[in-house]
Structure 1
Amino acid sequence: MNDTARPSRRPDGRPESDTDTRFFDLRASGYIGALDPDGYAVPDVEAWLNRQADRDR
């Protein structure tokens, strides 16, 4: 988890995880695209979905 030097941006006020921080930072920067469950930007959603499907087979 991150060192909570600033107030949490989570609605429940709990400390931000690394995933939370990536999510909020991307949204604050104006990114409106897809994010994976770990909070990383997914520029090509179709390719990401195909990789997930292949992994689950």
Structure 2
Amino acid sequence: MNNPFEFVMALVAMGMVTGLLASVEQDLRQRLLDLEERLDFAERLLARERGPALPKGQ
């Protein structure tokens, strides 16, 4: 790269890729948090509906 413009454009491209990767990572984290929240809700719902597994004394 003998042209300073090429160097600047390469830096801009690297910054855009880094920003894109950070955005994707943040989106994946949010999706994981949403899935964990849904799983917790489903577990609580099942535990509430299920009740005791066996009556006491048996």
Identify, as 1 or 2, the structure richer in strand: 1
Identify, as 1 or 2, the structure richer in helix: 2
Alignment TM-score > 0.5, same fold: no
Structure with greater Cα Rg: 2
Task: Report the TM-score range of the alignment, normalised by the length of the smaller protein.
Answer: under 0.3
The TM-score normalised by the length of structure 2 is: 0.25
